[in-house]
Amino acid sequence: MARRICLQAGHANCQYNSIVALRKSTGASNEMSFNVDIRNKVAAELRARGFEVVTTDANANDDKNITKTDFDLFLAIHYDADVYRVGGGFVDTPDPSVDSANSESLRIAKHLADEYFSNTKIVNHPERSNLKTKFYYMWKFLTSKTPCVIIECGVGMHVPDDHQVLHFMRPVVVMGIVAGICAAFDVPYQQTTPIDPCAETRAGLAKFQEAYQNAKVELEKKDKKLAKISESLTTLQTMLSDLITLTISK
């Protein structure tokens, strides 16, 4: 029987949540788009390996298809804001008081942390576990049989090393999460397609170069217009000077 995994993109569509306090919980800068992208890519990789995957957003607490289903894992995907002044991420599990499957949650979390941080080279900071992750709002809505894990993939902005991985080497991020889940459920991990960690960097560079060339062309056009205006001004100045000289001579 296929393992059933639920992947949540943290903060996504939070403005529609029935819990009013969550509606402004938009996360760190650019985090929502990251969470959605990674969720979708991880889901595709897990399905290719035989997992049954359900994807959801920040409103999973309002979805009975999520809250009434026993999953083999509910994983909430996030990244941190630059509050530590240094990079790094962590994997956490609920406080046992809100997690009846805590031993399984801990087991899965260890596999995920081992694989994720070894693959991405992002520094693991388990000491960053806090009340917001231990008592994450979703934990109390899931069934008692569902193991729960939350991953803070790193510091998403302003920390160069983490930023490079999270925004320009996302295949490595996906690989780390998928490998961790596969390890937890004893599913052989094998790349379905070769990982090219620099692919997105090259794509971004190509777009930048294209934008640069377009801007250069526009600048050259403006330079030509300015040159014509300058030439016209010079002509007018000459005419004015000649007119003044003629007037004075009379």
For 119-142, the pLDDT digits (tens) are 999 999 999 999 999 999 999 999
So where are the chain's domains?
4-197, 198-250
Residue-wise pLDDT tens digits, 166-223: 999 999 999 999 999 999 999 999 765 555 556 556 566 566 567 767 777 788 888 8
CA distance 190 to 46: 11
* DSSP type of residue 124: B
Specify the residue for token string 């809100």: 98
How do 90-92 and 148-155 pair as beta strands? Answer: antiparallel
CA distance 51 to 194: 20
Length of the chain counted residue by residue: 250
Can you give the pLDDT at residue 151? 98
* Residue 120 CA, distance from chain mean position: 14
Quick one: CA torsion of 66, 70, 72, 75, rounded to 10 degrees?
A: 30
- As a whole number, mean pLDDT of residues 214-234 equals 82
Lay out the sheet containing 90-92: strands in order across: 52-56, 4-9, 73-80, 148-155, 90-92
Q: What is the identity of the amino acid at 166?
A: L
Domain 4-197: CATH superfamily is Zn-dependent exopeptidases (3.40.630.40)
Mapping DSSP to helix (H, G, I), strand (E, B) and coil, where does residue 201 land? helix
Can you give the pLDDT at residue 222? 86
* DSSP type of residue 45: H
- As a whole number, mean pLDDT of residues 3-31 equals 97
Can you give the pLDDT at residue 219? 81
* Residue 76 CA, distance from chain mean position: 13
Higher pLDDT, 195 or 117: 117
Can you give the pLDDT at residue 211? 72
* C-alpha distances out from residue 247 to 235, 237, 243, 244, Å: 18, 15, 6, 5
